[in-house]
Homo-oligomer: A and B are copies of this chain.
Amino acid sequence: MSEARGESSDTTRDIMCATHRAVCEHGYADLTMQAIADESSVSKSALHYHYDSKHDLLAAFLDHLYEQWEADLAAAEAESDDPEARLRALFDATLGVDPDADEDLQTAILEIKAQAPYDDAYRERLRRVDERFHDAVRDTIADGVDAGVFRDVDPAVEATFLTSAISGAHTRKAALDLDVESVADSLDAYVDDRLRRGERE
């Protein structure tokens, strides 16, 4: 989906990596097509041939990020048949990465997120990420309820809460530079106390 018009996947990959570097260096608001071209092997005019605007290029970049992240999420889902292990793997795939490594990228994504209320293309792409994670959590919890390892909770309600907690952890880290590492521990405790069927039941 992040394929540029009439271009080989090598060039597309080069442009996406260049966009990644440029957005981390300049942030969203100050990013220019020239800055992206400077990081890539193509000229600014070639970049404009492939993408009409910075907006279109960033929409393609969000698709590119989605594909990378989705592959990690699918791998986490495939890790185990056990719903509890799968749920913890889903959390790790979203929160368990080095929180400082992608700080500049998270900052730029927060800027794009703040544009989403005004921008259908951004909003649609960010919703796809949110929905993919939410639904994976919901389905995993539903499997756990069916298998009798989780209590009889409403999987969709739990998934909304957990997705909100992880979204909030990312936002608090990016916007306020707050330490949110303890959120991973809290998610573990949540599975233990709220979801897992206790011995008393």
**A113 touching B193 in the complex, CB below 8 Å, given contacts A118-B27, A165-B164, A176-B126:** no
> Is A5 an interface residue, CB under 8 A from the partner?
no
> Is A178 an interface residue, CB under 8 A from the partner?
yes
In the complex, which residue of chain B has the Cβ closest to the Cβ of A168? B168
**A175 touching B107 in the complex, CB below 8 Å, given contacts A164-B165, A182-B160:** no
> Is A69 an interface residue, CB under 8 A from the partner?
no
Docked complex: A103-117 residues within 8 A CB-CB of B: 107, 110-111, 113-114, 116-117
A contacts, CB < 8 Å to B? 27, 107, 110-111, 113-114, 116-118, 123, 126-127, 130, 153, 156-158, 160-161, 163-169, 171-172, 174-178, 180, 182-183, 185-187, 189-190, 193-194, 200
CB-defined A-B contacts under 8 Å, sample of 28: A27-B118, A110-B114, A113-B114, A113-B171, A114-B114, A116-B176, A117-B177, A123-B175, A123-B176, A123-B177, A127-B176, A127-B178, A130-B172, A130-B176, A157-B185, A158-B186, A160-B182, A160-B186, A164-B166, A164-B168, A164-B169, A164-B172, A164-B183, A166-B168, A167-B168, A167-B171, A167-B172, A168-B169
18 other contacts beyond A164-B183, A166-B168, with CB at 8 A cut-off?
A111-B114, A117-B174, A126-B176, A130-B172, A130-B176, A157-B186, A160-B180, A160-B183, A160-B186, A164-B164, A164-B166, A164-B168, A165-B165, A165-B168, A167-B172, A168-B168, A193-B193, A194-B194
